[in-house]
Structure 1
Amino acid sequence: MKYFYRLLISLSGCLIFLLLHSCLGLLPSLAAEKVTVRYGLFEQSIPVADIRDYSQTQKASSDLQSFLDYLSAKDKQKFQDALQVKMSLDIAALDKLINTGMGKQILSFASQAIARRDQASIPALRSALILGAKSPDGLGITSFLEAYPSSQLVVDVSKIQKLVGMANSSSSSAAAPPKDDVSSSPLGKIALQYQTLAVQDKQFSGCLFGDSISAGLGNTLGNGTFNFGLNGLSTISLLEQLKTLIPTKVKCEKAIIAIGGNDAWYGISDELFSKNLQEAIALVRTMGTKEIFLIPAFYSTVAASLDPTVAAPLSKVEQINVLINQVAETEKVPVAAAGLAPLYENNVLRGNLTSDGDHLNTEGLKIYRQALLQILGK
């Protein structure tokens, strides 16, 4: 994850990133000292301090190393990348969100994977979210764990796998082509609801609209900016997102639209993509935006592009980028591509900048973030 809703559904902290990669409670002032992983008869405890040290130094204690030994090199990298995610959230909006019907449902849903002898799983999760988000670093794996009001967090991995599978399920079968179901999925709904609460009547110097690669940045573009990135976003769900946000009266002085990779993956037609992108630009302009920049669709590695369950063919991404340039010329908006050049070699994502062939790892996100900061003039 990478963005807010991934943490919401994986309230157990680091384990969802590891294994699937894939109101203040009136509670005692405690913090989790260890995480206990339970999977059938298997059970192992990991000190939270060891997880924090690993995130900072990449050096694992003997306890943590024995757990990491179960993972592939790719999954270890995903775990390390997930530990670097620290989200700066609007505390008031977060508090309102987890007190909505949908927020309570998500907490109840996630609490099923947390083993406690008392009946305080839901209040404990609520407290850890709020207190973790208040930490100087923002809400992340370690801040969540260190805010959890119990000395031990016991997680049933088999239940997490089942719950997240249910939360991510769509009406299409596993064999069906991928499609845009962002606005209909529980995770998409909760993420968008947070955004509407967080930006009500606010004005930002810069706004970023994009898919999971943009979402992976969190709100790290500086004060006065907001990242509206959502996992799975295409121009179809971007239009729905903008139509939901406009009534909040949010204003964006500059806007960056980084879209297209999922359109290519979902097989959206050229005509529909161009039409949607033009309409999205028109909607962004109603937010009082003075400057709009387009970002080319992101390329994957060759291996990922050959797997239809992971990414779009590189040729389709190339065609989407041709369309982006055509729309940019028609709408008289610039395509900011120069800063992304270090990510690629001959329009192929560099292998050392990705952990799965399709998304950017920590080093890749640094390059992307720097490119965005240059656009925003920061």
Structure 2
Amino acid sequence: MADTSSTPSSADFDASDRTTDTERAVHGTESVAELRAFLSAYAGEHLGSPIRTVRFRAGRIDAVWGVELDDGRAVVIKGHRTPAGPDTVGALDTIVAARDAQRYLAAAGFPCPEPLSGPDEIDGRVLTAETLLAGEVPAGRASATRRLLAEGLARHIDLLRARPGLREKAGPGPSWCRYQAGPWPVPHDPIVNFDVTPAGYDWLDEYARRASDQILTCREGAELVVGHADWYAGNTAVLDGVLVGTFDWELVADTEAVIAGFAAACYAASSTSGAGLSTPDEVAVFLQDYQAARGAGLYGRERRSACAAAAWIIAFNARWEVGMSGGKGEEGPNLTLAREHGQDYLDLIW
């Protein structure tokens, strides 16, 4: 999963202000003032109005600016990071697919931003713009939030079934969804390297492989659908108990059980409840809520593929922690989950 929670930022920048690591990776500039001028020119050309104020800057993978234009519209401008490895080829196609899905969902009344422009290629950068939706990031571990997320996931998967050709365009999703080549895909950010596992973590390679094998065995022959690849509380907004916004639309084409398992592993993560992934019990209760939302249970092989998909997300995030520390730092929370409860995820019963 990718954490792109919003970080409030002043509308007035001093010329000495320095961009974030993500902004530098995406835009290649250290000056916030220079970046603002570039984005304002983009807004003027593609949205018909330059930037008046900046409401927030955010993002750990893509560089996200929430802005107000001179004409009063509130929009989000996103600079997309070029994926690592083989994902570079076809990256624009996946963005186009996500924009198509957003337009379709917004027209159907689903609470996602309406695309306004893009993907636009400018000076070697890829930009998109969409409407800014207001709301509060929910407390991910609240039972009401969990039910809203389960319902929203079931609803948008069902809506997107009717969109012709979307499964083929969406593809296998970002790196944290790519269990098929096991144990590890090329990571979505070059700050970590999955090529060589540090000494003492061979058990994690084996665990990821078992999760991958269980998914592949149990999903064989099942229908492929399309869903949000990073469905968790930090990518949503709620107002008065209603889901009013869903963000960072990257798509994954997989079985419904697998996509539900991905979400079950990370649904609670948000800026208000911390970045922790789900315990086995939390995975099970999310999947119970998902079954209620879709109006049908997950049975037999579907259940085993769903719980293995959750296990894969735990394994991937644990491997990320190992990569960040080089295997020499203090053990992170996701690595602890994998070490202490790995088999519990794979054997979940609910």
TM-score by length of 1: 0.32
Greater per-residue strand proportion: 2
TM-score by length of 2: 0.34
